[in-house]
Chain A
């Protein structure tokens, strides 16, 4: 099964970097790692994805361990608007692209 493990919650101060960890020990070589976030009362929102190399986009950075069994989502400067539930998901290359969400990490950002 495409199971990931994340801390239930994390706190950060505004303007500081946040590192959100995720373990995905059963990932295979062709499965992508995706991160989504869900703000209160909204549907999930795509953040970033990667396969092997570290990735950067306007929202965040994704650091992938060399063995690909873990990854870290990095928000470089947290804002109050980044308070959300962050989901780490690995998408099986063999399936239909459906997302299997876990509990996610609830990020609180303090002013």
Chain B
């Protein structure tokens, strides 16, 4: 399968623990995005990478959240000291940005439950 893959698919953790999610984008894609989706809502943008550079972060991304994309390939999203409000689906998307068009391909997401 050559689509966007995310690992793990599900994560259950206790409040206060740290968690890390991984996203493997489509191999030739230079852009990578992280979104968060809570039940009944549309996804919300968290952050974006162009190659290895993190170029934009949402105000939703508190200092407990950190994302990396070393070497411009896979990306990780870490949440430190998790809170119950962090429970959500975390979605990763990648794209090959062309002039004026930026079609994003999404993974199936990582569902986080904080107890």
Q: Which of A40-69 contact B (CB under 8 A)?
A: 41-46, 49, 51
Interface size grouping (class) on chain A: 20 to 34
Q: Is the CB of B91 within 8 A of A44?
A: yes
Interface class of chain B by DSSP: strand
Which residues of A sit under 8 angstroms from B101, Cβ to Cβ? 32, 49
Interface class of chain A by DSSP: loop
Q: Is the CB of A44 within 8 A of B43?
A: yes
Which residues of A sit under 8 angstroms from B55, Cβ to Cβ? 96
Q: Which of B22-61 contact A (CB under 8 A)?
A: 31, 33, 35, 41-45, 48, 50, 55-56
Binding site for B on A (CB under 8 A): 30, 32, 34, 41-46, 49, 51, 85, 87, 91, 93, 96-104
